[in-house]
């Protein structure tokens, strides 16, 4: 195997493997995060700085790396069969892997202070910062590869005429481009903020301001990418391509409009109320319309339509699709119930993040094992998809609902172990639900990892370009 292969399918496999490894590592750290919250264990945890270190690395691997690596794989699959990737794109997975490994150094005690800020928490030590930088450069360099996608719709792509998943990728290239552009825009926002804040100014408020805008723009990119993931799951489950049309064009317009709003905010200083409130408004009004329109105007009509002449490649993919969509809608509802700074905020974002994670987990089960295996293999994969949807989907919903209950009774954010003062049955009931949901979600993660390993016996040189 060429170390720096420029073959798109092989590059897609490498990004998928990196994404899966990051999620698995983040899942292991989640045990510590849950233990630092629930009363039976939290009362014995006096090393609260260690809990914060675990949280930082858990979030950065499970959100920044996982949410960014898988879309790059989709971009390579969308361009499979075209001209090889550029030299930097061939090197990028290794650069990204080095960056992800550097993030693990954030767990080392006594080296830098952990900052549990919103969106991009970090540890204030040089190797951790270098890891974030390396990973960002790898992702950005992959998206800037001019050969990654055709320049115009229908331009002789390798996906044409190759089945429902490939046709779905072809029809959703606009969303892929918008997601990539949003990711690059997030890096621009971060760079502008760094210049205006005169560089990184240590742990605390300045760090929050530094990443505030970029973190919100990354959310916009994730919105675009998760809709592509939903489309691929729908195509795999029904045996029919999810076509374009007015609904998809409206979704793309909504995402593009949100990007224009970001451009208008570039003139604001990161330390001003206009900057802070502008991105709050972007999150409140710029993200959910596209998701709701897509689910109601694209996904739902597709699922109600007639099945293809043959069964879908993976009928079980519809279960995580539905579970992910319901979890996303629950997260949007939870967001509308936020009042002040308490556990309702993480209750909201754990539901929405869980929705994206569930869709991506199902997608890795579809794409990583490649072709082959026959009916027995397909049946095992469908069972795995169902297990993951049930365990992880139910668990993450319960976990988020528990945070909403505890927060509704006044339990604050960002306190761990003995710092967390639990008062009254309402807070206790909420944390009990958090513990139950966390256990189920972790079981779903273990089921996903084991299924991926079992199905991995069918791995070939790379994932097949979607049929």
Instruction: Report if residue 374 sits inside a domain.
Output: yes
Q: Where are the alpha helices (DSSP H) in 79-204?
A: 87-103, 126-143, 164-171, 173-196
Dmax (CA) for the chain in angstroms is 64
Query: Which residue has tokens 């005690």?
Result: 109
Instruction: Report if residue 179 sits inside a domain.
Output: no
Adjacent-strand bridge partners of 122 = 115
Looking at the chain, the whole-number percentage of residues with pLDDT higher than 90 is 55
Tens digit of pLDDT for each residue in 360-412? 999 999 998 764 557 778 888 999 999 999 999 999 999 999 999 988 887 76
Instruction: Report if residue 174 sits inside a domain.
Output: no
Count of beta carbons in the 10 Å neighbourhood of residue 69: 28
Residue 244 gets which letter from DSSP?
A: -
The Cα–Cα gap between 413 and 433 comes to 17
The Cα–Cα gap between 223 and 226 comes to 5
Question: Tokens at residue 37, please?
Answer: 């919250």
Range of the domain at 422: 318-467
The Cα–Cα gap between 443 and 437 comes to 10
Instruction: Report if residue 306 sits inside a domain.
Output: no
Residue 114 gets which letter from DSSP?
A: E
Instruction: Report if residue 297 sits inside a domain.
Output: no
Count of residues in the chain:
467
Instruction: Report if residue 447 sits inside a domain.
Output: yes
**Alpha carbon 258 to its chain's center:** 19
With CA atoms as reference, report the closest residue to 411 among 428, 394, 396: 428
Contact 212, 271 (CB under 8 A): no
DSSP 192-220: HHHHHTTS---SSHHHHHHHHHHHHHHHH
Instruction: Report if residue 423 sits inside a domain.
Output: yes
With CA atoms as reference, report the closest residue to 180 among 143, 142, 136: 143
Q: What is the CA radius of gyration of the chain?
A: 21
Exposed, middle or buried, 336 (CB in 10 Å: 0-12/13-18/19+)?
A: exposed
Count of beta carbons in the 10 Å neighbourhood of residue 352: 26
Query: Which residue has tokens 């920044």?
Result: 64
The Cα–Cα gap between 75 and 149 comes to 7
The count of structural domains within the chain is: 1
The Cα–Cα gap between 12 and 9 comes to 5
Per residue, what are the HEC states of 246-302? HHHHHHHHHHHHHHHHHHHHCCCCCCCHHHHHHHHHHHHHCCHHHHHHHHHHHHHHH
* 3-state SS class at 370: coil
Residue 305 gets which letter from DSSP?
A: S
Instruction: Report if residue 195 sits inside a domain.
Output: no
The Cα–Cα gap between 118 and 264 comes to 22
* 3-state SS class at 435: helix
The Cα–Cα gap between 284 and 269 comes to 20
pLDDT in tens for each of the 467 residues of the chain? 577 777 788 899 999 999 999 999 999 898 777 665 555 554 545 456 788 899 899 999 999 999 999 999 998 888 876 677 778 988 999 999 999 999 999 999 888 889 888 889 999 999 999 999 999 999 999 999 765 555 554 444 444 446 888 899 989 999 999 999 999 999 999 999 999 987 544 445 578 899 999 999 999 999 999 999 999 999 999 989 998 889 999 999 999 999 999 999 999 999 999 999 999 999 888 999 999 999 999 999 888 866 544 557 788 999 999 999 999 999 999 988 888 778 899 899 899 999 999 999 999 999 987 645 577 788 889 999 999 999 999 999 999 999 999 888 877 665 555 455 567 788 888 888 998 998 999 999 999 999 998 887 654 444 555 65
Adjacent-strand bridge partners of 115 = 122
With CA atoms as reference, report the closest residue to 187 among 147, 220, 149, 227: 220
């Amino acid at each position: 195997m060429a170390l720096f292969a420029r073959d798109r399918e092989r590059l897609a496999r490498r990004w998928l493997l990196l994404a899966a490894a990051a999620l698995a590592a983040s899942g292991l750290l989640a045990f510590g995060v849950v233990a630092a919250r629930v009363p039976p264990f939290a009362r014995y945890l006096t090393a609260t700085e260690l809990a914060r270190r675990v949280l930082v690395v858990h979030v950065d691997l499970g959100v920044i790396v996982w949410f960014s690596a898988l879309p790059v794989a989709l971009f390579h699959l969308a361009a499979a069969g075209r001209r090889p990737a550029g030299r930097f794109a061939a090197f990028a997975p290794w650069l990204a892997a080095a960056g992800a490994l550097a993030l693990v150094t954030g767990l080392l005690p006594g080296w830098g202070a952990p900052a549990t800020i919103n969106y991009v928490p970090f540890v204030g030590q040089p190797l951790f910062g270098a890891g974030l930088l390396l990973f960002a450069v790898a992702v950005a360099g992959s998206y800037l590869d001019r050969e990654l996608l055709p320049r115009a719709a229908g331009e002789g792509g390798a996906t044409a005429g190759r089945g429902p998943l490939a046709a779905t990728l072809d029809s959703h290239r606009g969303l892929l481009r918008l997601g990539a552009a949003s990711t690059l825009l997030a890096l621009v926002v971060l760079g502008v903020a760094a210049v205006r804040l005169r560089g990184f100014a240590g742990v605390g408020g300045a760090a929050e301001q530094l990443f505030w805008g970029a973190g919100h723009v990354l959310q916009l990119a994730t919105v675009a990418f998760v809709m592509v993931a939903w489309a691929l799951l729908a195509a795999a489950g029904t045996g029919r391509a999810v076509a374009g049309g007015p609904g998809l064009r409206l979704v793309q317009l909504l995402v593009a409009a949100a990007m224009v709003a970001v451009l208008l905010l570039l003139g604001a200083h990161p330390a001003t109320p206009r900057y802070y409130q502008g991105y709050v408004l972007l999150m409140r009004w710029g993200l959910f319309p596209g998701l709701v329109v897509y689910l109601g105007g694209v996904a739902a009509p597709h699922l109600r339509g007639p099945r293809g002449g043959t069964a879908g490649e993976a009928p079980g993919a519809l279960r995580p699709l539905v579970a992910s969509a319901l979890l996303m809608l629950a997260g949007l509802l939870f967001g509308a119930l936020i009042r002040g700074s308490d556990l309702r905020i993480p209750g909201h974002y754990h539901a929405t993040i869980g929705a994206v994670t569930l869709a991506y987990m199902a997608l890795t089960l579809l794409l990583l094992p490649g072709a082959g295996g026959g009916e027995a293999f397909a049946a095992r994969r469908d069972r795995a998809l169902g297990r993951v949807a049930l365990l992880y989907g139910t668990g993450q919903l319960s976990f988020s609902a528990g945070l909403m209950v505890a927060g509704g009774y006044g339990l604050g954010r960002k306190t761990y172990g003995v710092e967390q003062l639990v008062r009254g049955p309402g807070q206790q009931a909420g944390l009990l639900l958090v513990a139950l949901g966390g256990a189920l979600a972790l079981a779903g993660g273990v089921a996903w990892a084991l299924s991926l390993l079992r199905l991995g016996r069918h791995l070939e040189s790379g994932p097949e370009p979607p049929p």
